[in-house]
Amino acid sequence: MDSILGVLWNCFQPGMLFMVFIGVAGGIIIGAIPGLTPAMAIAIMTSFTFSMDPHAAMALMIGVFFGGIYGGGIGSILVNIPGTPGAIMSGLDGHPMAKRGEAGQAIGIATWSSFVGGVFGMLMLILVAPLLSAFALRFSSPEIFALTIFGFSIVCSLCSRGGLAKGIVSVCLGIITCMVGLDPVTGVERFTFDLSDLTSGLQFVPVMIGLFGLTEILKQISLNELNYVPQKLTKVIPSFSLMKRLLPTQLRSSIIGTLVGAMPGAGASIAAFLSYDYEHRHSKTPELFGKGHPEGLAAPQAADNAMCGGAFMPMLTLGIPGDAVTALLLGALILHNIQPGPMLMVEHPSMVYTIYITGIMSDVFMCILGLFAANFFARLISVPYYFLFPIIMVMCVVGAFASGNSMFHVYVLIGYGILGFTMLKLGLPILPMVLGVVLGPMMEENLRTAILMSHGEIGFWFTRPITVALFAISLISVALPLVKRRLKCKTAAASA
Amino acid sequence: MKPIHLKTWLVAFVAAFSLLLSVVSAQAEYPDKPISCLVGYGAGGGTDQDARAFAELMSKELGQRVIIVNLPGALTANAVNELVKAKPDGYTLLYTTSTISMLKGQGISDLTYADMQPLCAAMRENPILVVNKTSPYATAKDFFAAVKANPGKLNMAVAAAGGTWHLGMIRLAKHNDMDFVIIPNSAGGSGMNARLLSGNADAAFLAPSEALSQVKSGLFRVLAISATERSSLMPDVPTFKELGYDLDMSPVRGLYAPKGLPDDVMKKLITVTKKIVLSKEWKEIKENLLSQAYYLGPEDFTNHLKQELVDYTKMLEEGGLLKKK
């Protein structure tokens, strides 16, 4: 069954179809629940799949991976609590839509964009994997450091109009959060106050659930009247004209997602940040972003799912995983004595074809399941708040606990929930802080590693074209709006 | 007197039966319920996957599930604390690495092997020195000559900062008056491999399982292995000792129990673990990962750990990470 037709036949056997279907359905649920990530589920599954046929095991795990990445967006849209770290940006425009009573439509857009992104990523994997993974490898420490700097420049477009200072304060709070724990380069303890729990640092999942979930609940409770939003439960499938309108956004975001996915050491959250930022900056109507603009939801969802295909590229061609989940899949293949890497296509072509086919199959199942379940999910937030909030609260606490099997993570959740609420009252935006938490550790480790690599020579930075280009783009993107505003003021003054 | 209802009889019968059962089970042979095996890392890492494979084989031998419980954080100290606190009845075990000998030196926990009952060593992993296949260094001699000729110019990738490999390289550099730049990677294997493949590091010191596909497919060339003798899996690769460098670290992963196990439980666990570690299945699983099944009984393992604690504390001191209290 080493020919592609043989594998195709095998993949359409009921058993394999069932594996992919169960994987996707389970993945969507795991992804939608805050604290449970597809990476966690796949890690636990590897030992159970040890006795399975490796192709069936792969089909199941790919289903969970793709379903989970998509499912993360559902929590963001419905209650503004991202189910997975990659879904942080999906709530920015998805949640306002739900607040308008368009949760079903938002999930429809998210599903369709995820489908387009996912299929795009898989097609790129099939067509240009060796080329792209060779390019992605050129992103070493200096380049990734430059990329994080570019990522931080997003704050400028997120908090325009006088809010920039507050945005920067918020980013710094996020970076401070990441300072706790072992130094990434020397291994010395920092800010651990002799608490052994702090040596591993503050984990991202409880911090994120605290800042989004608990803060949201506290905010809702503090409002005196809770306004109930009736959900329009019609036509969740985006209209043809909307599909046509979103396609350019989805394709641009898919390209960003695939590229970021192929870089070892970057992740889904960065793909979402960058694609949202790109769409926001280059939109003709930037003022609509953040208020329930379909493009703002389509971009991160398409990028997240395109990231999946991208992450497989270095794994299949070089044996280097592109993200945390492909690292686990690589381990699972090795347990079956299959070595991912340059010899995989020669030694086990059937495995490569299985990954291609089940990947695309997962996207199709995800699209069908998502569109069917959209109204069901939308109805969930029509549940009265006095039922809904306690349930979400329980899920947040369980999710934080499950992320490390420890009560310490629950205390972190509560701490950051209170911090988030305080920030809200002070008018400090929360999203930049999360940006700091995600990009901070990457920025620090890659900067310090790059300095080690440079042997202390400043000229080193200029020998790397990608780094220089990224720094230049960041500089332009920060300076351009300021220059534009200055010019506008001048012309206004001249004409007056 | 009211006639006794059938339901009451039934309840009484079930109660009596379950009481009987519980008496029987109290005397039943160990194990009569699932066993938890603690792991100090999150699901998916090297130690975790290793422990899961071991637990799978143990479940088969014991006829009871051995369930992996991940307690990540504090460099495995959380899991170690939990084990020491657990009841010594054989239903809570710990699978961990040589990190156990570093906790005290790093000031994270005062617990050492001496606070536990080491049961067996299960495997050992000999780290290797690798270069990209396009690298000009064909042998370890070439590489070390280049290091001597260009002090402070060559980059050496290692895994987590402050970890065993990092400390091993600090020690190699110090003892042999060598000067190379050590670049740690929190992403572990994938980060190092990407760095080596893209030419951003000149060599890497890593566990074979961290670069399995690259080593097996020939993308990486193995120059030297840190072990007391050559590995049967890579017979052409010289050890550091042969090359004249004092480096033979080979961290051991094994199984631990709380102190004070009942004799019958201890006996059972010794027989079972010995059988598994020496089994063909375990050997195969390990060799697929280019590491070795390695058995040490409780006494030998304890002696090994005693020596390891001394060695690692010294290494931490040399690396400047020792915390004095």
Contact B168, B239 (CB under 8 A): no
CB under 8 Å to A362, separation ≥6 — which residues?
Answer: A20, A23, A24, A62, A63, A65, A66, A67, A118
List chain A residues with CB under 8 Å of B107.
189
What is the reported pLDDT for B12?
62
pTM of the model as a whole: 0.84
Q: Which residue of A has its CA nearest to B188?
A: A265
The alpha-carbon gap from A2 to the nearest alpha carbon of chain B, in Å, equals 20
Cβ-defined contact of B71 to A406 (cutoff 8 Å): yes
Mean pLDDT split into 10-residue runs, chain A, 496 residues: 80 92 94 86 80 91 95 91 88 91 92 96 93 86 90 78 83 93 82 82 89 90 73 81 94 94 81 90 87 94 94 89 86 83 86 94 96 87 83 89 86 96 92 90 90 88 93 88 81 74
A331 lies within 8 A of chain B by CB: yes
Q: How many CB atoms are located within 10 Å of the residue B132 CB?
A: 21
What is the reported pLDDT for A159?
72
- Cα B104 to Cα A180, A420, B115, B256, B314, distances in angstroms: 20, 36, 12, 17, 12
**What part of A 122-161 touches B (C-beta under 8 Å)?**
137-138, 140-141
Q: How confident is the model at residue B306 (pLDDT cuts 50, 70, 90)?
A: very high
The alpha-carbon gap from A131 to the nearest alpha carbon of chain B, in Å, equals 14
B198 lies within 8 A of chain A by CB: yes
A30 lies within 8 A of chain B by CB: no
Cβ-defined contact of A44 to B43 (cutoff 8 Å): yes
Q: How many CB pairs under 8 A join A and B?
A: 163
CB under 8 Å to A167, separation ≥6 — which residues?
Answer: A155, A156, A158, A159, A429, A432
Cβ-defined contact of A47 to B163 (cutoff 8 Å): no
What is the reported pLDDT for B3?
55
Cβ-defined contact of B108 to A343 (cutoff 8 Å): no
B202 lies within 8 A of chain A by CB: no
For A331, the token pair is: 């381990």
List chain B residues with CB under 8 Å of A340.
213
> Which one of B49, B169, B315 makes the best mutation probe of the A interface by having the most chain A beta carbons within 10 Å?
B49
Q: How many CB atoms are located within 10 Å of the residue A234 CB?
A: 8
List chain B residues with CB under 8 Å of A344.
213
List chain B residues with CB under 8 Å of A320.
190, 193-194, 197, 214
The alpha-carbon gap from A222 to the nearest alpha carbon of chain B, in Å, equals 35
B96 lies within 8 A of chain A by CB: no
The alpha-carbon gap from B15 to the nearest alpha carbon of chain A, in Å, equals 35
For B81, the token pair is: 């604390």
What is the reported pLDDT for A225?
66
Cα–Cα distance for residue pair B158/A280, rounded to 1 Å = 40
For B141, the token pair is: 């001699």
**What part of B 160-189 touches A (C-beta under 8 Å)?**
160-163, 166, 181-187
Which residue from A171, A178, A227 is spatially nearest to A198, judged by alpha carbons? A178
List chain B residues with CB under 8 Å of A324.
44
List chain B residues with CB under 8 Å of A189.
106-107
Is residue B100 over pLDDT 70?
A: yes
The model's pLDDT over A59-90, given as tens digits with 9 standing for 90+, comes to 999 999 999 999 999 999 998 888 888 898 99
What is the reported pLDDT for A423?
94
Is residue B130 over pLDDT 60?
A: yes
**What part of A 449-488 touches B (C-beta under 8 Å)?**
449, 452-453, 455
> Which one of B190, B212, B290, B312 makes the best mutation probe of the A interface by having the most chain A beta carbons within 10 Å?
B190
> Which one of A196, A263, A466 makes the best mutation probe of the B interface by having the most chain B beta carbons within 10 Å?
A196
What is the reported pLDDT for B190?
74
For A26, the token pair is: 């389970």
List chain A residues with CB under 8 Å of B214.
318-320, 341
The model's pLDDT over B28-82, given as tens digits with 9 standing for 90+, comes to 688 888 999 999 887 777 888 889 889 989 999 999 989 888 888 778 888 898 8
Cβ-defined contact of B74 to A196 (cutoff 8 Å): yes
- Cα A17 to Cα A59, A67, A114, A122, distances in angstroms: 9, 14, 20, 18
Cα first-last separation, chain B:
76
Dihedral, CA of residue B195, residue B196, residue B199 and residue B202, to nearest 10: 120
- DSSP code at position A338: -
List chain A residues with CB under 8 Å of B71.
404-406
**What part of A 188-227 touches B (C-beta under 8 Å)?**
188-189, 196-197, 199-200
The alpha-carbon gap from A492 to the nearest alpha carbon of chain B, in Å, equals 52
The alpha-carbon gap from B153 to the nearest alpha carbon of chain A, in Å, equals 7
Q: How many CB atoms are located within 10 Å of the residue B85 CB?
A: 9
The model's pLDDT over B212-264, given as tens digits with 9 standing for 90+, comes to 888 888 899 999 999 888 988 899 999 999 999 988 888 899 999 999 999 99
For A64, the token pair is: 């969970």
B78 lies within 8 A of chain A by CB: yes
Q: How many CB atoms are located within 10 Å of the residue B18 CB?
A: 10
Cα–Cα distance for residue pair A485/A156, rounded to 1 Å = 14
Cβ-defined contact of A339 to B216 (cutoff 8 Å): yes
